[in-house]
Amino acid sequence: MANTDFLLQFQEFEDDQGFTENNQGATTVTIDDPIKSRKQRKATGTSFEEEDNDDKTELLSGEKKSPPFWTFEYYQTLFDVDSHQVKNRIVGSILPWPGKNFVEVYLRSNPDLYGPFWICATLVFVIAISGNMSSFLVNYGQPKFKYVPDFRKVTMAATAIYSYAWLVPLALWGFLTWRNTKITCLVSYSFMQILCVYGYSLSIYIPAVILWIIPSEGLRWCSIVVALCLSGSVLVMTFWPAIREDKPRITIAITSTIVILHALLAIGCKAFFFSTYELDHTEPLTTKAINNNSSINAN
């Protein structure tokens, strides 16, 4: 009788404080006040305006678990950006600001695939269209030249740009991950973030390519140098925190590889798509173009 009464009656447990006092090895988890953490981030960050949307997505993304990569929802999380966020990311990739790391400031933990994909697509079509237009303009006065739109430029440009935008980040991520096993580094980027940075850094080439329609060599080289300086410095400043703790030889090697590959893309596109006027022309401009091409081929 007493046994069943004991089972049926409600039992009070001991107070929690007695529990934790006895257990010295217990770990306690405190959840930060969201307002406090936002203020902390403001204090350590830079002095530009912060959008609440970015903060909210940062907080929320820490709590939701990512869906598996074979579902549609996983790819929806990669397109979780608004118009003004994309605009800010493009502006941030064009104008390098010392101290503002692109990944920290603009991407946070929300890299997107919209920007890289559509910037590459725009660049492909702009290169093809500008290449056709420049060859048309150069050969305009000649009677025996008949303008035929060259559609193969689109496929070639697409192959070149997309392989640059996907393979170089893959190689860089693999290399950085391998170095992370040798030296511990505070900053490590995920593959999506590196992909995002490279995609947005190609956006400066769109106005540069439009400028290449004008058949003036000086203007073309000038625009290449300006575009390269701007986006190259954004890239270098982004990856500097990840590689500065390494041996200086490796640091210099990675930095120069990034810049050289970026330059090679621009110069390669220019040489391949915009040098069609050396075929029939007899002006001295032609010899300069041939010299440029031969010097590029010799590299």
Residue 279 near other proteins by CB under 8 A = no
Alpha-carbon dihedral 162, 83, 126, 295, rounded to 10 degrees: -60
Cβ neighbours of 202 (radius 10 Å): 23
Indicate which single residue of 39, 51, 67, 75 sits in contact with other proteins (rule: CB under 8 A). Answer: 75
Residue 107 or 228 with smaller CB distance to other proteins = 107
Quick one: which segment of 121-129, 184-192, 226-234, 289-297 binds other proteins (CB under 8 A)? Answer: 121-129
Indicate which single residue of 54, 57, 81, 179 sits in contact with other proteins (rule: CB under 8 A). Answer: 81
CA distances from 162 to 103, 124, 133, 173, 213 (A): 21, 9, 22, 17, 22
Q: What is the Cα–Cα distance from 276 to 134, expressed in whole angstroms?
A: 9
CB 246 within 8 A of CB 179: yes
CA distances from 22 to 26, 27, 47, 85, 112 (A): 9, 13, 47, 51, 49
Residue 139 near other proteins by CB under 8 A = no
Taken in order 132, 137, 142, 147, the sign of the CA dihedral is positive
Cβ 84 to other proteins, closest distance in Å?
A: 7
> Between residue 142 and residue 161, which ones bind other proteins under the rule CB under 8 A?
146-153
Residue 29 or 148 with smaller CB distance to other proteins = 148
Indicate which single residue of 39, 56, 84, 247 sits in contact with other proteins (rule: CB under 8 A). Answer: 84
Cβ 195 to other proteins, closest distance in Å?
A: 16
Residue 54 or 246 with smaller CB distance to other proteins = 54
Contacts to other proteins by CB under 8 A: 1, 4, 75-76, 78-79, 81-84, 86, 114, 118, 121-122, 125, 129, 132, 146-153
